[in-house]
A = this chain, B = another copy of it.
Amino acid sequence: MAVTIKDVAKKAGVSPSTVSRVLSNHPRISRETARKVKEVMDEMGYHSNIMARSLVSNKTYTLGMVLPRPAEELFQNHFFAENIRGITTQASRNGYDVLMTAGHSEQGELEAVTRLVKGRRVDGIILLQSRRNDPIIRFLKSEAFPFILIGHYADDDDILCVDNDNVQASFDATQHLISQGHERIGFVSGPPNLTVSQDRLEGYKRAMEENGLRMLPEWIVEGEFLQESGYRAMSFFMNLPERPTALVVVDDLVTFGVLRGLTELGFRVPDDLSLVSFNNIALAELSSPPLSSIDIGIYQLGYMASQLLIRYIQGDKPQQMRVIVPHRLIVRESSLKTIPKWS
């Protein structure tokens, strides 16, 4: 049997309540008693039972995360790993652990969240993706349960979230291509119901409009955050009668797909097609050519999310519901030619 607070109490010659108070640094405990009790605790290797503790205190010191359903997809992307790292590091620093659970079906995700919330298993929840009209978000709001969203929620701005200014970021990316002399610029988007896809598309459009450039509807294609999508998009674009000379791509991984397809077809980057994408994962600079990409501070997104959520849980009402992590355009070879040969 594990050593309990009673064992410590007995050995130290005090009552369990005193031991408990020593544990929580209660002010009205004498220096001497505290010392003595701590000594005994060390001696006996005492660690308080977290279940018992949280049963009465109603705090778990745990943050919950639900792996989005097609976890495969997300995990392929460096984004997720880096995000978790930020979340966990900061959580640990504040004495919180991170609980991960996987919803094995569409409905399962909501069930998993429900279980965590109603079962009082976690103190707060971190959400990784936001789609329109998300039932999970609706549920959490209706329960008034603390949660934070990485990304933002278009349907409701009274939600704690940490996000990039994706509209601006995409604007910047597009503007960069324009400043390189491109006029026919395409956009490879992600799943249309994700906020991040919508925002980046929006930024692209704004830049094009502001510069008075034509936007053919066939220059915008949607896909997943997967290489295959990039591959498909590429072959679609390159078969167009009037093909773009540059692309803004919603995610590095997708860009790798584009790149691969171009290589197979004998096209060259940036000469035949210039590319700028998002996320700046570690491998962006390793590909050939190295990828121009918007660094969105993935680690920092996770880190901040953890931080803000914990503060919120602890009662610090935030000044603003939406915190923006700054982005940075990293220009590399994939966008450094001015005008493609065949333009």
Instruction: Report which of B76, B85, B93 forms a contact with A75, defined as CB distance below 8 A.
Output: B85
User: Separation in Å of the A92 CB from the closest CB of chain B?
Assistant: 4
Known: A67-B85, A67-B88, A286-B227. A49 touches B97 (CB 8 A): no
A36-85 residues with Cβ-Cβ distance < 8 A to B are 45-52, 54-55, 60, 62, 67, 71-72, 75-76, 78, 80-82, 84-85
Assess whether A22 is interfacial by the CB under 8 Å rule: no
State which of A117-125, A160-168, A315-323 sits at the interface with chain B.
Answer: A117-125
A51: chain B residues within 8 A (beta carbon): 51-52, 54-55, 60, 120-121
Instruction: Using A47-B115, A49-B55 as known contacts, say yes or no to A104 and B100 having CB atoms under 8 A apart.
Output: no
Q: Does A2 contact B (CB under 8 A)?
A: yes
Taking a contact as CB atoms under 8 Å apart, the answer to whether A102 and B121 are in contact is no
Grouping DSSP codes into helix (H, G, I), strand (E, B) and loop, the A interface class, with mixed when no group exceeds half, is helix
The quantity of this chain's copies bound in the complex is 2
Query: Could you list some 7 contacts between A and B, CB below 8 A?
Result: A45-B118, A51-B54, A67-B85, A72-B85, A76-B282, A97-B121, A100-B100
Q: How many residues of A contact B (CB 8 A)?
A: 54
- Bound: A263/B54 CA distance, A: 56
- A window 13-55: CB within 8 A of B: 45-52, 54-55
Residue from B80, B85, B99 within 8 A of A62 (CB atoms) = B99
A235 at interface by CB-CB < 8 Å: no
Interface residues of A in 257-312 (CB under 8 A from B): 259-260, 263, 282-283, 286-288
Taken together as a complex, chains A and B put the C-alpha atoms of A110 and B168 apart, in Å, by 44
- Contact call B98/A50, Cβ cutoff below 8 A: no
A76 CB → nearest B CB, Å:
5
With A78-B78, A85-B72, A92-B102 in contact, is A263–B288 under 8 Å at CB?
yes
B2 and A120 within 8 A (CB): yes
A101 within 8 A of B: yes
For residue A89, CB closer than 8 A to chain B, the reply is: yes
Is A171 located at the chain interface by the 8 A CB criterion?
Answer: no
In the complex, what residues of B have CB within 8 A of residue A120's CB? 2, 49-51
Given the complex, which residues of B lie within 8 Å of A180, measured CB to CB? none
A84 to B78, CA, bound (A): 13
With an 8 A cutoff between CB atoms, is A237 at the interface? no
Q: Is the CB of A89 within 8 A of B101?
A: no
In the complex, A256 has a CB within 8 A of chain B: yes
Question: Any chain B CB within 8 A of the CB of A114?
Answer: yes
Complex interface: chain B residues within 8 A of A282 (CB): 76, 227
The answer to whether residues A48 and B100 also contact, given A76-B282, A85-B75 and a CB cut-off of 8 A, is no
A185-244 residues with Cβ-Cβ distance < 8 A to B are: 227
Whole-angstrom distance from the CB of A155 to the nearest CB of chain B?
24
Nearest chain B residue, comparing its CB with the CB of A101: B97
Q: Which of A50, A62, A91, A256 has the most CB of B within 10 A?
A: A50
Q: Are A75 and B81 in contact (CB under 8 A)?
A: yes
Docked CA distance A52–B54 (Å): 9
Report the bound CA distance from A133 to B135 in whole Å: 49
- Of B47, B60, B259, the residue contacting A286 (CB under 8 A) is B259
By beta carbon, the residue of chain B nearest A77 is B81
